[in-house]
Amino acid sequence: MHIRIPKGWELPERLATPEDVFLNRRTFLAGSGSIAAVSALPGAAFAAPQDADPTADLYPAQRNAKYQIQRQLTPESVASRYNNFYEFGSHKKIHEAAQALPIRPWEVAIDGEVEKPFKISIDDLIRKMTLEERLYRHRCVEAWSMTVPWSGFPMKDLVELAKPLAKAKYVRMETFKNPEIARGQRASWYPWPYVEGLTIEEATNELAFMVTGAYGKPMAKQFGAPMRLAVPWKYGFKHIKSIVRFTFTDERPKSFWEIVQGKEYGFWANVNPEVDHPRWSQATERVLGTTIRVPTLKYNGYGDFVAQLYTGMEGERTTWM
């Protein structure tokens, strides 16, 4: 087995912000001078009391220590104010606009090649699952990165619940469509709703994670509440937000960015520092909340988990966009 030797710029796990910095509610409430108290403030300011989350009691979820980041966590105040969510605008400052999204009631449809299609409310779905917290790196195709404590459940558990038929080879996921609230969806040159897809093998890989929370509480709307995807070995645009539908299919889905600009954004989108974007280098990444750039790792450093998914597929160029 390949044993990865951490490079000098990779911080040991113990240097990541300790759990109690953002998980200790007393630290939040006391408003002490710690980083946590400061970074907790924006989240509190964004919380819209009218949609109190019926699953809030499930957070903070128990951290799964298997997933190590070897980076510092990105402060919540930074990650929650620098977002890609084109439904609310094609720039990074969408956190206020995103608060208009109603996230309850919220239904998720499971359909296509499954034993029996069904709809389930997000709260029923979350309560069927066991939530855990994972620290994951996130690498946007725009060459910035962050490291976030997500909470949620393995996508594998959702696939099991869906009971796909043998002929289902892919999962197609779809974001809500509501141009009255999401002004970005009035831009008719984009193929709304946002769509993404994975193979069943990818969706059932242990790393594929359905995210419902961040920073020890239900996730803020700008992160893609009430449920988004995290596939940390792939570029950020695969991490589809505010999902309303999972369709199991034998046809490879065409994703939003693939339709918009297929020469630049393809289906696989596995992180690879050796293959540049047609318009910029992917060799390094800007770490959000800092002034440093670090080298980008193949599969974003998650090769031990996922590289075997792509053996024998070299002709498919799985590791460029």
Ligand X SMILES: Nc1nc2c(c(=O)[nH]1)N[C@H]1C(S)=C(S)[C@@H](COP(=O)(O)O)O[C@H]1N2
- Give 263-266 contacts, CB < 8 A, sequence gap 24+: 264/321, 265/141, 265/237, 265/321, 266/317, 266/320, 266/321
Least distance (Å) between residue 240 CB and ligand X: 5
For residue 215, state whether it binds ligand X (rule: CB under 6 A): no
Indicate the residue among 17 and 222 with the shorter CB distance to ligand X: 222
Indicate the residue among 175 and 205 with the shorter CB distance to ligand X: 175
Indicate the residue among 237 and 299 with the shorter CB distance to Mo ion: 237
For residue 240, state whether it binds ligand X (rule: CB under 6 A): yes
Are 73 and 56 spatial neighbours (Cβ–Cβ below 8 Å)?
Answer: no
Identified binder of Mo ion from the candidate list 40, 58, 108, 140, rule CB under 5 A? 140
Identified binder of ligand X from the candidate list 39, 175, 270, 319, rule CB under 6 A? 175
Identified binder of ligand X from the candidate list 22, 28, 67, 86, rule CB under 6 A? 86
Identified binder of ligand X from the candidate list 17, 70, 83, 185, rule CB under 6 A? 83
For residue 194, state whether it binds ligand X (rule: CB under 6 A): yes
Question: Residue with structure tokens 């996921």?
Answer: 173
Q: How many residues bind ligand X (CB under 6 A)?
A: 16
Least distance (Å) between residue 269 CB and ligand X: 10
For residue 239, state whether it binds ligand X (rule: CB under 6 A): yes
Residue 230 Ramachandran class (φ > 0 left, ψ -120 to 50 alpha, else beta): beta
For residue 174, state whether it binds ligand X (rule: CB under 6 A): no
For residue 95, state whether it binds ligand X (rule: CB under 6 A): no
Question: Residue with structure tokens 């289906």?
Answer: 267
CA distance 39 to 22: 8
Q: How many residues bind Mo ion (CB under 5 A)?
A: 4
For residue 283 the two structure tokens come to 């060799």
Helix (H, G, I), strand (E, B), or coil: what is residue 161? helix
| Of the candidates 279, 277, 250, 282, the residue with the CA atom closest to the CA atom of residue 266 | 277
Are 164 and 200 spatial neighbours (Cβ–Cβ below 8 Å)?
Answer: yes
- Which residues contribute to the site for ligand X (CB under 6 A)? 83-87, 140, 175, 194, 223-224, 236-237, 239-242
